[in-house]
Structure 1
Amino acid sequence: MAAEKSPSERICAHMNAQHSSSIHDYALFFARLPSSLARTATLTSVSTEKLTLTITSAHGATSTVNIPLHPPMADLGESRERLVALAHEAMEGLGRSRYTVTRWVPPGPLGAVVSAAVCFGYWSFWNGAVQFARGGFVREYIFMGGLDAVAAVLAGYCKVFFCGILAIHVAECVWMQNTRLPKHSVFTGSALWWKWIAATFIEGIGSVKRFDGEVRRLQAEGKKAH
């Protein structure tokens, strides 16, 4: 019969399996480790006075780092609350919010219409010399064969309009990245990051507003929990 795990072992197993990102943050913020080492950190011991992390170098050598607890815990029954508080302190110390966005919110009906319109705009202006000329889809079915002066201007400056739309939406993606995504632990290159960036590139400000709405939802849930 296997020996029952100690409280420290149970806590470490849970943290390593379910909260590895928090351990990474502990290593970055409290232990001041470089990211390359912090990524390897595992929690190997919890006492009332300290956390012990084990890290692995690029050459496979292991070493331990201790993170003192101030004030010490009365017993390990306080560990959950203390570890959560440390995770929040580390996240905010690293410039991230405690409110972690973990899902992508799809657009509503209006957002879907805007996305379709933007995609149609990209397509129309990229092929503007054809689309705004006689026989082109836009000229014949959107402009109903009329609006000759408007069609002539759009055909003549189609690449300018295309580049303008592209520049605006790229700028919105940069804005989203610089002010929101990493702050709320949507890490660059992750599947979730690609969803939010792609939605922002297509839809623009509507995607940014949905992201802000998701953060407000998390904040409201946090207040209810307290």
Structure 2
Amino acid sequence: MADTPQDEAAKARIIKHMNADHADSLFYYLQHFCKLSSRNAHGATLSSISLSSMTLKTTDGKTHTIPLNPPMKSWSEARTRSVEMDREARSALDISSIRITEYEPPRKPVQVVLFAILTLTWLACIFQSFIVPGSWLYKVAEFFPGGGAETFLWMIRKMTWGFIGLHIVESFLLDRIRLRKHGVVRGTAVWWKWIGSCLIEGFACFQRIDATIERRTKEAEKAKH
């Protein structure tokens, strides 16, 4: 049976709504129901829908059809069905309903000071070969308490690889157990900001993102009442 004008209008509304407001759900649908990687699923759009299936198109031009079992009886079921699919996909992928959508920079004085100290530590590790007698960097390092420039250089040489390795591991863990779980797609601008920040400040980044998650969880709970 051919679709009626009312059917076509309903499908158009659903497609427009899903693409405009639920791109994250489409992303998770493809990962769970079609077993696509997050990279291949990112940026997908809903191209068509029927009572028995939906078809999504990925950025590489490929289409992926997800059967709706059981088929919907009418278009009025679309919202409920999409919510159920989203819940199933998130549960299977271990994705929280609390989403991180932006980067939270250090704001409190102690956070800013720590970020500055660790940034300087990174710079010292990277440019330690330029801290030589007679250079302005060496003269600045002479103010280091407990032995001046030579003590400073000895300490930097001893800690460089451990410092870098620790912060790389912390950034890996941030991606795996925080960012992915809370909807931050790898490679996006928000992801790079959090990862870059974690590379610099390490565990302090976890504390800040956990505070953000806690705040948004409370907001979500409050909205239910």
TM range (shorter): 0.7 to 0.9
Match among 4, 9, 12 for residue 6 of structure 1: 9
Contact persistence 1:27–1:41 (CA under 8 A): no
Q: How many residues end up aligned between the 2 structures?
A: 214
Q: Deviations over 1:19-56 (max 9, x none)?
A: 233123223323x3544875656252253xx4422557
CA distance, structure 2, for counterparts of residue 122 and residue 52 of structure 1 = 49
Match among 158, 161, 170 for residue 163 of structure 1: 161
Contact persistence 1:186–1:193 (CA under 8 A): yes
Q: What residue number does 1:172 align with?
A: 170
CA distance, structure 2, for counterparts of residue 179 and residue 57 of structure 1 = 27
Contact persistence 1:101–1:215 (CA under 8 A): yes
CA distance, structure 1, for counterparts of residue 133 and residue 162 of structure 2 = 21
**Deviation of the 1:214 alpha carbon:** 1.6
SS state at 2:67 partner: strand
Residues 215/133 of structure 1: CA separation in 2 closer, same or farther (3 Å cut): same
> For residues 16-165 of structure 1, what are the structure 2 equivalents within 5 Å?
16-30=19-33, 32-35=34-37, 42-47=46-51, 50-55=52-57, 64-69=65-70, 76-108=75-107, 109-128=109-128, 131=131, 136-143=138-145, 147-148=146-147, 151-165=149-163
CA distance, structure 1, for counterparts of residue 127 and residue 63 of structure 2 = 59
CA distance, structure 1, for counterparts of residue 116 and residue 59 of structure 2 = 49
Q: Deviations over 1:77-136 (max 9, x none)?
A: 453344233212212212322222111111122111111101222333445577596872
CA distance, structure 2, for counterparts of residue 211 and residue 57 of structure 1 = 30
Q: Deviations over 1:57-92 (max 9, x none)?
A: 97x67674422248x57x544533442332122122
Residues 192/55 of structure 1: CA separation in 2 closer, same or farther (3 Å cut): closer
Gaps of 5+ in 1: none
- TM-score calculated relative to the size of structure 2: 0.76
CA distance, structure 2, for counterparts of residue 203 and residue 181 of structure 1 = 16
Gaps of 5+ in 2: none
Contact persistence 2:98–2:213 (CA under 8 A): yes
